[in-house]
Structure 1
């Protein structure tokens, strides 16, 4: 093993990927000077707010080939990366620094403290111990590579030494300086569009249902031939929850191309096909004819939702099962198994903003995260055209690509 020390390393962007890359480089090459530059006053901002302030660190999926199936973009390139630094390595890394993670029923992994501050403290402590020089409110305006191969960095605040290697880890939104810098070095940028967003739906059936959650539903985008199953949450703006967010990730480009105006179909009981739903309703009529339809719910759906579906099917108020017609049962079965909604717009948590798009992946060596166009320039995190569905997958990609870049910049073999 060898490490080239005495060099200047600059990491641009103090988010998850940037912090991880800087720590790895500084620990592996203690003689190098690692500068970590953040444009804002708040490093690790997305880590702090992720998972509702709990920080979904990674996911308990330990087979790289299974893991990459959670990435709408970047799956092929990440296979090798996850063989080198996957969820098991992430768990071990944090454990070595005193942070224990727990696995929830759906596979998401959080610190046992249920506080993102635990993760932030671990990263900042590790960076300080490794000698990483963190500078906030230091936006990078331009980077040029001199004839000597070193990088000259122009900042909006103070000066930064010429760097032997640079890691761009500025995130994926279009305002991130890393995208412009990558483009200036000749990299192609895949169009950036939002991913992981809720659907804005203005529909009378959803009014008054804010906060109602169905733990197992399916949401489909027929035009894009996409469907996802899982929890669905009704919000004051429309539909959200893991199933919707996953669907938005896989359909990110299709949604954008439609102008965020498209149709979705919700099956509130996805374990049942249409004919099974109709048969269950017929059995309910035979077995419980005197019960009111609005209060006798054979599918265990939330009461308020069931009442809305019954009303939308044209079943009169106070109607008992024995009074329902075949047409009523057919309409109710359609509301349960094929509720159709028109989406008109999206809602994104700005603090947890995720995009698809970024630096074109074939222009990057995923063994080292180094540019194939400009030696010494590396990439990590969402500045690349990589994004995962909700569940800790985006952070896992950040840890892996940051670790690989940091290793390569340290010169470790």
Structure 2
């Protein structure tokens, strides 16, 4: 009986293991996980709800969400897509739902539902799982792979490395002759110390445009003020697409925020209209824009140095221009980043030129496979990183033994 060993008890590893065992009942399938628990990233995903995938059903559109791996994933997505992922889970009794932003979650709103599905499916398929088994070295001898651990050595006919971002494993992969793109953080928030936002964490706007000054980086989407600066989908998009550039800047740069995603001159014209219509009302009392909360509006008025008791009629054209600039062209100094611990994603990993993406197999070693974030592939938030894991795992499962 031939042996298929998976290093890494995460999303890609489990998906490959279950499907390989179901497709090849004669295959002995074993997952080796270094920690005490499997599927930890699945558990943490989506705030504990597990963002399974994204309801984007066209391969050409789906690849646009991957800063690294766009070209390489186009073919694989034609073989196993988001719709296939949803069908896979639903065939196992897991009801899924599509939310307004196209993220897909289990109806239960609990990642444990997905974990239980994997554990049950693995058990039913005869997959063996061995935790607390940290791999120390990987060697190739003739046509087989020797996986060395502190307690014993394992011999595999087929080997899948699906450990995610793991520097020790990347070193082992380099020892097998593969090149590794230097890993840098991909999804992170911006640390900003600015009195305009210091006292109002939790405030958000639905559609902001954020630019990194002196670069081509720009994104649009919901923006969230946090205790440490700015976050939300628009910031995470910028951090993913700008992962390498922002790393080179030492995470010290300036951004321009348009809180309304509206042209400054349009904002100014609206303010002029409000001045006429509400001449005797206090400026600071009520926001002139529905998307700008009262607390955020107050900060912009104060930053413009408009007296807190000033009425609209008292504002000069310069006051209105300054207020419009705060709303549509405010600049902030970024001095550092904050990353998600459990959901940490990196840009970097196994060089994509060395992978046959028809099989997710090494071009250097037959029957050596890679899937998930161990490869130099990453995406923005929204279920896309998991879809990469499911697609890679599925194709590996169909390639083992063929």
1:35 matched to 2:30: yes
1:132-211 matches, within 5 Å, as 132-147=127-142, 149-160=143-154, 162-174=155-167, 177-211=168-202
Q: Counterpart in 2 of 1:256?
A: 247
Point out where structure 2 has 5 or more consecutive residues left out of the alignment.
Answer: none
Contact 1:137–1:157 at 8 Å: present in 2 too? no
1:44-83 matches, within 5 Å, as 44-83=39-78
Q: Counterpart in 2 of 1:115?
A: 110
Choose the corresponding residue for 1:286, options 261, 266, 276. Answer: 276
1:87 matched to 2:82: yes
Q: Distance in 1 between matches of 2:152 and 2:199?
A: 54
Q: Counterpart in 1 of 2:287?
A: 297
Contact 1:173–1:192 at 8 Å: present in 2 too? no
Contact 1:28–1:410 at 8 Å: present in 2 too? no
Choose the corresponding residue for 2:6, options 11, 14, 30. Answer: 11
- SS of 2:332 mapped into structure 1: strand
What's the CA shift for 1:229? 1.1
Q: Counterpart in 2 of 1:314?
A: 305
- SS of 1:223 mapped into structure 2: coil
Q: Counterpart in 2 of 1:219?
A: 210
Q: Distance in 1 between matches of 2:4 and 2:307?
A: 71
What's the CA shift for 1:318? 0.9
CA separation of 1:44/1:139 partners in 2, compared to 1, >3 Å: closer, same or farther? same
Q: TM-score, normalised by structure 1?
A: 0.96
Q: Counterpart in 2 of 1:247?
A: 238
Q: Distance in 1 between matches of 2:388 and 2:90?
A: 19
Q: Distance in 2 between matches of 1:214 and 1:354?
A: 25
Contact 1:388–1:394 at 8 Å: present in 2 too? yes
Point out where structure 1 has 5 or more consecutive residues left out of the alignment.
Answer: 1-5
Q: Distance in 1 between matches of 2:22 and 2:70?
A: 29
What's the CA shift for 1:55? 0.4
Contact 1:36–1:134 at 8 Å: present in 2 too? yes
The RMSD of aligned alpha carbons is: 0.9
* Structure 1 runs (4+) greater than 4 angstroms displaced: none
Contact 2:2–2:27 at 8 Å: present in 1 too? yes
Q: TM-score, normalised by structure 2?
A: 0.98
What's the CA shift for 1:355? 0.2
Q: Distance in 2 between matches of 1:157 and 1:314?
A: 68
Contact 1:12–1:38 at 8 Å: present in 2 too? yes
- SS of 1:367 mapped into structure 2: coil
After TM superposition, the structure 1 stretch with the greater mean CA deviation from structure 2, 107-116 or 288-297, is: 288-297
Contact 2:208–2:222 at 8 Å: present in 1 too? yes
What's the CA shift for 1:349? 1.2
Contact 1:54–1:114 at 8 Å: present in 2 too? yes
What is the aligned length?
A: 401
